[in-house]
Amino acid sequence: MNNRFTRRVLLGAVTALCAAALPQWAMAQGKIELIYSDTVTESDPRAAILKDVFGKGLGADFDFKPYFGATLFKQGTEPVAMQRGNLHLANLAAFDVQKQIPAWSIVTTPYVFRDHIHMKKVFDSDVGKELFAMMEKQMGLKVLAVPYIGTRHLGLKPKKKVMTPADLAGIKLRMPPGEGWQFVGTAMGANPTPLAFTEVYTALQTGAIDGQDNPMGAVKSMKFYEVSSQIVKTSHLIANNLFAISLSKWNTLSPAQQKTVQEAADKFSAAVTAQALKDDTEQEAFMKQQGLEVYTPDLAAFRKHVLDVYGKSKFAADWPAGMLDRINKL
């Protein structure tokens, strides 16, 4: 009896030790749940691309569950939700990374990226690798891809002509919540007003805000043009998303499953970038057809003013030594 009991105990102990030695993915059974949250509405082209390219690209091993319109998590709360294990995937704004890693403000500064090609060069370079490593080490999040989502311009309801930052004095400019976003509005010369993306249309309609800054593709998909009079092509931010997964989830996947997720993410990023580039060329004509005035202000004046303001700000003190020069040389 004692011998049988001893054997059972030993067998149980050996089984437990073997299980502990196995990677998490080797013990997983059934479909792998991937919960995703985004601020864009389900009618946005990016939502369709996500489902058709990324979701279908995952194949039968995954149970992909996307939520749109910030219905699952409010804009800006996604990183913490991922860190707590309540969310697996999200298209993050670099500004939300900046909240936890101040050094990231170097790539949220307006006019640091010259265009989408320069942006890609930066994130593909050693600079990008260093920034991504910070995210993994300090936040436990892994960047899978960085899709370009358009160039941000100012969309205003008042008909006041805006050629320089001084012309934005007194303009209530909606910016996403968060200190980093708000400082963009200040540096541009406006009065920044924090507001969720899904609340912008009503705020423009009622006059609670005078304008917003978004790529023209977003202006069309959210119908902001219906409550605006003009688009000022400031080109101040080369907008991107950090398509990221929590490391805790990533580490539960087998190498083959990680490869599948990465390949699907790469295809998603390429498709979103292609859509954004298409929007860049097509949406200006659409805005004009809707009766909006579309024009380019004094970009040199905006660039100089904004970079001067940032250079004297607390944000610049957090930039890694020499990184801005490295970015400018790319």
Domain spans of the chain, in order of start: 28-150+240-280, 151-239+282-317
Architecture of domain 28-150+240-280: 3-Layer(aba) Sandwich (3.40)
Q: How many CB atoms lie within 10 A of CB 275?
A: 20
**Helical packing angle, 116-124 and 126-139, nearest 10°:** 70
Question: 216 vs 50, 69, 110, 154, 205, CA distance in Å?
Answer: 19, 18, 17, 9, 18
Per-residue pLDDT of the chain (330 residues), as tens digits, is 455 545 554 445 444 444 444 455 444 468 999 999 999 999 999 999 999 999 999 999 999 999 999 999 999 999 999 999 999 999 999 999 999 999 999 999 999 999 999 999 999 999 999 999 999 999 999 999 999 999 999 999 999 999 999 999 999 999 999 999 999 999 999 999 999 999 999 999 999 999 999 999 999 999 999 999 999 999 999 999 999 999 999 999 999 999 999 999 999 999 999 999 999 989 999 999 999 999 999 999 999 999 999 999 999 999 999 999 999 999
Output the pLDDT for position 1.
Answer: 47
Question: Which DSSP symbol is given to 84?
Answer: T
- At 30 the pLDDT is 87
Angstrom CA distances, 60 to 24, 55, 79, 132, stand at 19, 10, 27, 29
Task: Enumerate helices (H) and strands (E) in the chain, giving the number of each.
Answer: 15, 11
Same CATH topology for 28-150+240-280 and 151-239+282-317: the answer is yes
What's the rounded Cα separation, in Å, for the pair 35 and 112? 33
Position 158: which residue type?
Answer: P
CATH entry 3.40.50.720 includes domain 151-239+282-317 = no
pTM for the model: 0.87
CA 284 to chain centre: 23
Cα–Cα dist 73/8, whole Å: 48
